[in-house]
Structure 1
Amino acid sequence: MTSTNSSGPSHPLERVLFEVKHTIVGQDTLLERMAVALIADGHLLVEGVPGLAKTLAVKSLAAAISGSFQRVQFTPDLVPADLVGTRVYHQHSGEFRTELGPVFANLLLADEINRAPAKVQSALLEVMQEHQVTIGRETFRVPEPFLVMATENPIESEGTYPLPEAQVDRFMMKVIVGYPTQAEEQAIVGRALRPPEPPQAMVTAEELIAMRGRARQVYVDPAIVDYAVRLVAVTRSPATAGLGELERYVTYGASPRASIALVTGARALAFLRGRDYVLPHDVGELALDVLRHRLVLSYEALADDVDADTIVTNVLRAVRTPEVVLRNR
Structure 2
Amino acid sequence: MATAIRLKTLLRQRHWQTYRTFKIEYDRIAQDIDADLIGTWPSRAQLHRWLSGELKGLPYPDHCRILEAMFPGWNAEQLFQTVPADDAAGSDPVSDEGAGRTPTNPLIEAITAGLATPEADHQVWGPVAPGSSAGTLAAIDPDVVTGDGDQSAYTLGRRLVALGRVLRLDAHEINQLATLAGNVVNLALDVTLDIAADDTATITYRHKLLNLSSRPLTRVPHELWFEQTSGALRITPVSPRGHTITVRRVDQAPNLANFACHLQPPVQPGDTVTVEFACSGPKFEQRYWRQCMMRYIRHLNIHVISASSRLTSYSAVEDHTDGSQTDVTDSIICDDDGPDARLTVARDYLRPSQYVTLRWDIAREPAR
Q: Shorter-chain-normalised TM-score: which range? A: under 0.3
Instruction: Judging by fraction of residues, say which structure has more helix.
Output: 1
- Taking structure 1 as the reference length, what is the TM-score of the superposition? 0.26
